A and B are shown apart, each in its own frame.
Chain A
């Protein structure tokens, strides 16, 4: 278009795609499906390029420069494509086993420290802090809350007696946790909506807003018209 530079064109494209995706809120329609499929193709294509760049820079280039050891992971990567062979599918399992083995080993060794022993250490706080009843109260809630929440998921024995009281306390702590999670999740999603609407206010994207109102209005009118007009019956 005359006078429209690349930045403005980009704003129009992003605004248009945003409104096509938001049309799902009215109902599922072709415009939304097109936006969804563009998203899929673009995301996968972009991810492929970044992955290819990583392999090119860090494995292929050193191999070409004479470091032959890089041939091993590159050749092993080719074995992954036996995924598509029915007869030789088992060969695909070899590099997969390597990736999963390394990934699992890296996570589990460190995870037990970070998410278990260090968390126990962080829970071992003094229950009574002198001259600070607020901190004492918080520490008591944390310790009893952690123990109660863990007991809530312990099903090997029946919850009765004093254990039942702890489990009930733990249950309410978990409910508060889920409530906080809902509040934070909602806050996050609204932030995304804010970000999208801020981008729609940019020139020339805001022109699309009245256009989309007209399009939705026409769609609603067409729906109502089709509902009122009975379908002609055909005799067989």
Chain B
């Protein structure tokens, strides 16, 4: 028992690595249910009329890409299938790259696509954090050029937009907070918000759900659920068995650790 309590942490790291790696080589295929947050977001987008304007706001860094990018690919597929107009903007410097990658993965091309500028656009990075969000919400045409250097005046999809009110939904892709989007888009303009967030953030989204945040994707699990809903299985779904194995391992660790602690405690008393 004493040996188990003082085990080298590197052995624990190795066990965790094996537990995550093994199901990726040889998947089990456990079924994945749909949670209310994901279903809320899906149903809302499904109910939007064709041609509605959607804002995809990238407030994510490269660190959260393994969780957030599969979410982006899944919901952008849904937006494309529903023929909605997509305006992508980034409030983090890493955002434009992922916005560009999403367009290439879902539409096959970004700036060279014939519908670029008519049905979708990547506006690039706006510096300034929440001040930038406030300015953009007041006037989406505040910037001069998009990410690829095209003039805003030449982008047909931007012309009807005068404020955040013109968006039917703001999808926030973030690993930091959604409060700022609720403050600058949700409350002043009454625009519904959906969160494509890392799992860390879900506890902080809940106070705003479902009144301000109509739905949310819970990390990689949320991405897997959305992939199922849009029938586009991808990396998120492939990772669910590994997620299960890792969770089970840590729960076993917690149980072993506490059983050992209880035994030592009763031994001392």
Residues of A at the B interface (CB closer than 8 Å) are 25-26, 46-47, 50-51, 53-55, 57-58, 61-62, 102-103, 106-107, 110-111, 113-115, 118-119, 122, 177, 180-181, 184-188, 190-198, 201
Contact = CB atoms under 8 A, between A and B. Distances in A.
The DSSP consensus for interface residues of chain B is: helix
18 contacts: A26-B10, A51-B125, A57-B145, A58-B143, A103-B129, A103-B131, A110-B183, A110-B184, A113-B187, A114-B186, A114-B212, A181-B203, A188-B219, A191-B199, A192-B64, A192-B66, A195-B65, A201-B24
Contacts of A190: 20, 242-243, 246-247
A180 B94 CA distance: 29
B124 to A, nearest CB: 7
Contacts of B93: 46-47, 50-51
The DSSP consensus for interface residues of chain A is: helix
Most B Cβ at <10 Å: residue of A57, A103, A196? A57
Q: 7 closest pairs, A vs B, by CB?
A: A195-B66, A191-B220, A188-B199, A110-B183, A50-B93, A194-B239, A187-B199
Contact of B200 (A103, A177, A188, A193): A188
B235 interface: yes
Contacts of B17: 193, 197
Nearest to A102: B131
B118 interface: no
Nearest to A193: B20
Nearest to B180: A107
B243 A187 contact: yes
Contacts of A198: 24, 66, 235, 238-239
Interface residues of B, number: 56
B247 A187 contact: yes
A177 B202 CA distance: 11
A54 B125 contact: yes
A114 B20 contact: no
A186 B20 contact: no
Interface string B215-252: 00011110000000000000100110011001100100
B20 A184 contact: no
Contact of B179 (A61, A62, A114, A122): A114
A111 B220 CA distance: 29
A53 B146 CA distance: 11
Given A57-B145, A187-B243, A194-B220, A110 B188 contact: yes
Nearest to A57: B145
A179 to B, nearest CB: 10
Nearest to A47: B93
A194 B131 contact: no
B106 interface: no
Contacts of B203: 177, 180-181, 184
Contacts of A26: 10
A179 B131 CA distance: 34
Contacts of B187: 110, 113-114, 118
A181 B202 CA distance: 8
B67 A188 contact: yes
Interface string B104-139: 000000000000000000001111011100100000
A26 B12 CA distance: 11
Contacts of B235: 195, 198
B249 to A, nearest CB: 10
A57 B239 contact: no
